[in-house]
Amino acid sequence: MYKLEMKRLLKTRSTRILMAVALLVTLIFWCINVFDAYYYSNDGKSYHGLDAMQMRRIVAESAEGEWTPERLRDVFTQVAEVNANYGAAADGAAADYTLTFMRSLLQVCDVQYVNEITPEMAAQYYTLRKARIEEATTLNYGPAAAEAALKLDENMAEPFYYEFGFGTGSDTASTLPVSLFAVAIVCSIICAPVFASDYSTGADDIQRCTRCGCKRLGKAKLLAAMTLSTALYFVCAAVFVALTLAVYGDDKTSAQLALDALVLIDIDMNGVLVLMLIAGLLSVLAMTAFTLWLSARMRSSVAVLAIALAVAIAPTFLVILLRDSALGDWLRLLLPGGGLGLGTGMIVDIQVGKFLTLGPVAIWTPFAALAVPALEAPAFALLARRAYVRHEGA
């Protein structure tokens, strides 16, 4: 039964076209990631695409390794000397040298320009960082969240490590989530008519009266749709990641340097990539299961599609409408597609150090972004099966 349903899904022309579209979108975003890179050297030359990447790799070589407090002090002593001798040129030189974690330093030291950072401030980076975490989290989420943040940060391995890779050499952190989001949308589009179209044509009335019965049939349809979505996700993610690793290699840079000082767990960019992929898979499964549940409840594939798409893009709009509000975060993360979105998702949650608070309990949002879809996927799948079994023709 399951094989027949898979065959039926794969034989549908629109399914094949949509799968090809998902793969194409993945490839397009990977290409944009690589070929939209620019590098402008101090001598006025500009580099593009893979050449730009090579230049960045060369420039970043001198910054690779562990960034101990002593190294930071030495670097900024040199920056101060260059600044004293050459003035405004210092910013450019410092930018080249510390191009990976400029934002992190500026944020932690609470300054706007590099030349405001003294060697002593630079040496205090790790201490200042912890103070910054406590201050920002208390201000935004309260003392319970600050305590939870510091507890998470306790296991941080210092000093942080930097090497050139996909994390800092490319826009993978922004393009991968978008292409995974496109896969989630395509999966919803494929799954929307799984039950609903048979209801509207009346074919379901015949199918559920066959020997297999509606329970087995419902289970087979669900499994087939979920398998297809999982397979599509794996293929698209694998293509993106494989091409990225082939061009850039892996990246053991500490996420605190590549992304944001407020990253609260001891993780490098390889780990961030894995987390993004896991969160993406769970979100895709949750979205698929949700769409299948809608399909099992409604007769119109168009209505199912409209609602599924609305739910998929809702996190994107919640981020705009309810920016910096707890309600926005709660709603976003409770939605099936909460781990993916445009301008939102796991990567943003890791970067920004957000918490969901309920009284004395504070949960770091990436944990919620993993846990909620992991619970929702099987829940919606079961609801979908139940709705299909209980469906009665009009």
Partner 1 sequence: MKSVDIISTLRSLPAPEPDAGRMRRTLRLCRAEYRARRPLRRVGAWELMRRQLRFTILPVWALQGALLLFICLALGAARPAEELIPASASLAAELAALTALPFHSRARRYGMEEVEAAARLSRAKLTLARLGAAAVGDAVCVAAAALLSGGGWYVTLVFVATPFLLTTAVSLAALSRAGGVYSAICLGALMALGYYAAAASWSFDMLRISPLLAAGICLAAIAAIAVEMYAEIRGNGMEKRLGYEY
Instruction: Give contact residues for partner 1 (rule: CB under 8 A).
Output: 14, 18, 21, 25, 36, 171, 174-175, 178, 181-182, 185-186, 189, 192-193, 301-302, 305-306, 309, 313, 316-317, 320-323, 342-343
Helix (H) and strand (E) counts for the chain? 20, 6
> Residue 77 or residue 174: which is nearer to partner 1 going by CB?
174
From the CB of 179, what's the least distance to partner 1, in Å? 9
HSE (side-chain half, CA atoms, 13 Å) at 26:
24
Q: With contact defined as beta carbons under 8 Å apart, do 175 and 29 qualify?
A: yes
> How many residues appear in the chain?
394
3-state secondary structure of 390: helix
From the CB of 317, what's the least distance to partner 1, in Å? 6
CB neighbour class for 201 (10 Å; exposed up to 12, middle 13-18, buried from 19): exposed
Here the tokens at position 149 are: 């943040």
Q: With contact defined as beta carbons under 8 Å apart, do 164 and 64 qualify?
A: yes
375 φψ region: left (φ > 0), alpha (ψ -120 to 50), beta (else): alpha
> Residue 211 or residue 323: which is nearer to partner 1 going by CB?
323
> Residue 28 or residue 242: which is nearer to partner 1 going by CB?
28
Q: With contact defined as beta carbons under 8 Å apart, do 253 and 269 qualify?
A: yes
CA atoms of 295 and 384, how far apart (whole Å): 8
From the CB of 70, what's the least distance to partner 1, in Å? 37
> Residue 80 or residue 322: which is nearer to partner 1 going by CB?
322
> Residue 121 or residue 346: which is nearer to partner 1 going by CB?
346
From the CB of 306, what's the least distance to partner 1, in Å? 7
CA angle (297, 2, 387) in 5-degree steps: 15
From the CB of 324, what's the least distance to partner 1, in Å? 10
CA atoms of 111 and 94, how far apart (whole Å): 15
From the CB of 320, what's the least distance to partner 1, in Å? 5
> Residue 245 or residue 307: which is nearer to partner 1 going by CB?
307
> Residue 149 or residue 338: which is nearer to partner 1 going by CB?
338
3-state secondary structure of 44: coil
From the CB of 8, what's the least distance to partner 1, in Å? 17
CA atoms of 273 and 189, how far apart (whole Å): 26
